A and B are shown apart, each in its own frame.
Chain A
Amino acid sequence: MIDPAAPVLDVRAVAKTYPGGIEAVRAVSLQVRRGGLLALAGESGCGKTTVLKMINRLEDASGGSIVYEGEDIATLDPVALRRRIGWVMQGDGLFPHLTVRENVAIIPRLLGCSRDETGQRVSEMLGLVALPADDYADRYPAELSGGQRQRVGFARALAGRPDLLLMDEPFSALDPITRDTLQQEFGALRKDLGFSAVMVTHDMAEALIMADEIAVMQAGEIVQQGTPADLLSRPANAYVSGLLETPRRQMRAIRELGA
C-alpha cells in the first residue's frame, strides 16, 4: 500500500494565518524522503515550529495540504495521526508524575498493545537509548539528568514504532558535551530503525551535521532548501550566508588552533 519510493511526507503550499491576520507561514512546500532527516532552520519566530505542528495537526493549516504516507492528513483523525507519528519536544516533555516505564509505555498502551508486549517494548526502547530498564525504568524524571530525560523522550516517541519522528529543538536544552553524544546516538538509532524525521532547530551547525536536507525559513517562507553541501557552496542570499557564518567561523578558528 505504501510506495517505498514516494516521500513519507509531502507538504504542499501550506499556510497558517492566525486570527487577526498574522501570517505565520506562507506557501511552504517540503518533501521528506523515506529514511531522511529534514532540518527546518531559521531564527526564532520564522514559522518553523508552526510548520512542524501542522504536520501532526497540533495546529491546523489555513491553506495548502499535507500528505503523509499518501493520505491527506486533513482527512485523518488528529489523535490517531499523532499516535502514528513520533513527537519529541524541546526540554523533554516527560510527565513528572509517571515513572520512566510509564512514560515510555503510554503510546504502546494507547495503541492497544497487550501488557506483555508493552513491557517488552519498554525494555527494548530503553535499551536502544542506553538506559537499561533494570536500572532506570522505575525512576521518576526528576531523578534523571537532562541528557537521560531527553533519551527517555526519544524512547517514548519511538515506542509506537513510528515511521516519522517530529522533533522540536530536541537537543537545545543540553550541555554541549551531552548534546554531541546524543546527536551521534540519534544518528545511529536512525540508521538502525530507518525512520524519517523532521527536526526544528535554530542551531545551523546541528542542522549541517545531522540533516540530509535543510530548509531555511525566514518570516514564514522557505528561502532555501537543499543538502548541507548545497547550502555551504551556494547560499541563496545574504540571510542564509549569515546563518552559515557562525559555524564557518568556529570551524576556521578550530582549524587554526590545530595547525
Chain B
Amino acid sequence: MSTNLAERLAELPQLLSAHVLLSVAAILTGIAISVPLGIYAAQRPRLSAATLNIASVIQTIPGLALLALMVPLLGGTIGYAPAFAALMLYSLLPILRNTIVGLQGIAPQIRESARGIGLTGRQRLWQIELPLALPVIVAGLRTATVWVVGAATLATPVGATSLGNYIFAGLQTRNWLSVLFGCLFAAGLAILLDQMIRLLEVAVRDRRRPLALAVGTGLALVVGLSILPRLIDLDARGEMTADAYGGAAGLAGTRVEIGAKAFTEQYILAELLERRLSAAGADVAVRDNLGSTIAFDALASGEIDVYIDYSGTIWATVMDRPAPVERHRMLAEMTGWLHENHRILALGALGFENAYGFAMTRPRAEALQVASLDDLAPLAGDLSVGGDPEVFTRSEWIAARNTYGLQAIETRAMDSTFMYSAVRDGQVDLISAYTTDGRIAAFDLVVLDDPRGVLPPYDAVILLGPQARTRPGLSEALAPLVGRIDAELMREANRRVDLDRQTPAQAAAWLDGQLGE
C-alpha cells in the first residue's frame, strides 16, 4: 500500500464521522423546522407562497457562498456552527416544498370525507393527510439528504471538518487520490442515506416492522459509529496531555489551534508550526483549508490561535489601504495596526515573500520580447491572463491593470492548481503566479518585473491571536522561525509537494531539517 493511500485511509474515520454528524444534524433540524412549517403553511396560500419564495432564494445562493456568509452572520465564528446553519438552511426548501405540495395535493373529496365522518383536525392530519402526503414528503427529504451530504464537503473552507478536507487539500496539492477519496465517500454516503430513507418509507407504508427495525438499527449504527472516533479522539487527547505534563516542555497541556488557508504553502507552514508547538508540549490541532478572510476573522475572534498570513494581503483586504508602500514600512505599519485594532501580535516575518507576480513561459516571453509589465500594454488586446478567482477582484490586479494599461487583456479565472500547467501548455499567455510556487522554476516560467511598484510586498508573517499572544511559551516556541525561511527554501518545499507528490507533513519535516536547531 502506498504512503498516500495509507495516509488517506488514516484520515477516513475522522473525516467521514465529522461529515456524517454534520449532515445528519443539519437534516434532522431541517426536518424539525420544515415539516411543521409546511403543515402550518399548507392551508394558508399566502404564507405558503411566501415561505417557498424565501426558501427558494436561499436555495439559489451557491453552497459555498451560503456557507461563507454564515461566518460573518454568526459574528466571525468558524467551524461547526456556520457549516451546520448553512446546511440546515439548505435542507429546508426540498422538505418544505414537498410537505406543502404533498398536503395540498390530497383530493378535496378525501379531506371532506375525513371531516364528514367526524375526524378532528389532529386526527385528520395524523391519520389521513400526513400518511397520504408521506411519499411526497419523503421524496423531498431524499433530495435534501443528497444535497446536504454533497454540500457538506463545502464545510471545509469555513473550518468544519468534513470529507471536503480530502477534496480541498487534494486540489491544492494535486493529490488526485485525495480528491477521489472525498468524492467517492461523499457520494457513497449520500447514496447510503438516501436508500435507508427509501427503505424506511417502504417499511412504514407496508407496515413491515422487521424492515423498519433493520433500517432504524442501520441508521443508529451509522450515527453511533460516527460518534465513536470523536470519543476515542478525546481519550487520546487526554492521554497525550497527561504525557505532555510529564515532560518539561513549556507549553505542556496547552491547546493550540493552528489555522491554514487552502494552498500548499499554507499546509506546509501549518505542519511546521505544528511540529514546533508539539515539540514544546502543546496539544495541537490544525484547521486547514480556511477561506482567506475567514482565517483572519477566526484569529481575531480567538477561534484559531496562530496562522501565517502575508503583509500585502492584510494591507489590502483587512486594513483596506489603497496603495502599497515600501516593504519594511508596510510590515511596521501592519504590526502596529493589528495590535491597535485587533490585539493581534505579528510575531515576525518568516523571511520570504509570496507575492503576486505575472509569469510567462520563457520561450513566449522571448518571442514577444517581454521582460516587464511595461512591455505588455501594446500587446494587451491579444493576450489572456489566468488567475485564481480572487485575484481579479483584488486591488493589486486593478492597480496593475490601470497603471500598465492592461484593460484590453482577457482574464480567465481558474483554480490556482491548474493555472501553472495552463500557462505552460499555452492555454493562457500569462498567469498571476505566487512567487514561491515550486512550479515557477520547474516549468521554467519568467516572473515579469514591476518597475512602477504597484504590486505590494507579501512578507509571510506569523500572527498570534489576542488570547494566544498572552500564553506563556507560545511566542517563544515560534520565534526561532522568524527570518529563517528564504524564498528558495519555501519554493523547494512547495515543489516537493506540488511536483514530487510528497505530503505537506513530509515537506514540513524536510523544511524543519533545513532550519537546524
Contact = CB atoms under 8 A, between A and B. Distances in A.
A90 B128 CA distance: 19
Q: How large is the interface on B (under 10, 10 to 19, 20 to 34, 35 or more residues)?
A: 10 to 19
A176 B449 CA distance: 95
B132 A91 contact: no
Interface in B119-142: 119-120, 123, 127-128, 131-132
B118 A157 contact: no
A37 interface: no
B112 A110 contact: no
Contacts of A166: 116
B132 A87 contact: no
Contacts of B127: 106
Nearest to B120: A79
A106 B115 CA distance: 12
Interface string B161-182: 0000000000000000000000
Contact of A95 (B114, B115, B118, B120): B114
B109 A93 contact: yes
B113 interface: yes
What's the dominant secondary structure at chain A's contact region?
mixed
A249 interface: no
Q: Which residue, of B109, B115, B117, B205, has the highest number of chain A Cβ atoms within 10 A?
A: B117
Given A80-B118, A82-B118, A93 B113 contact: yes
A81 B117 CA distance: 9
Contacts of A157: 117
A83 B110 contact: no
Contact of B117 (A80, A91, A96, A156): A156
A82 B116 CA distance: 6
B113 A82 contact: no
A4 to B, nearest CB: 25
Interface in B85-124: 109-110, 112-120, 123
Contacts of B131: 97
Interface residues of A, number: 22
Given A95-B128, A96-B132, A97-B131, A87 B110 contact: no
A106 B127 CA distance: 10
Nearest to B115: A58
Interface in A67-119: 79-83, 87, 89-91, 93-97, 106-107, 110
Contacts of B205: 97
Contacts of B113: 87, 89, 93-95
Contacts of A58: 112, 115-116
B117 A83 contact: yes
B109 A106 contact: no
A130 to B, nearest CB: 22
A56 to B, nearest CB: 7
A1 B359 CA distance: 102
Nearest to B113: A93
Q: Which residue, of A83, A90, A96, has the highest number of chain B Cβ atoms within 10 A?
A: A96
A141 to B, nearest CB: 10
B109 A87 contact: no
B128 to A, nearest CB: 6
Contacts of B128: 95, 97
B116 A87 contact: yes
Contacts of A82: 115-118
Given A82-B116, A89-B116, 20 more contacts: A58-B112, A58-B115, A79-B119, A79-B120, A81-B118, A83-B117, A87-B116, A87-B117, A87-B118, A89-B109, A93-B112, A93-B113, A95-B128, A96-B110, A96-B132, A97-B132, A106-B119, A110-B118, A156-B117, A157-B117
Interface of B: 109-110, 112-120, 123, 127-128, 131-132, 205
19 contacts: A56-B116, A79-B120, A82-B115, A82-B116, A82-B117, A83-B117, A87-B117, A89-B113, A90-B109, A93-B113, A93-B116, A94-B113, A95-B110, A95-B132, A96-B110, A97-B128, A97-B205, A110-B119, A156-B117
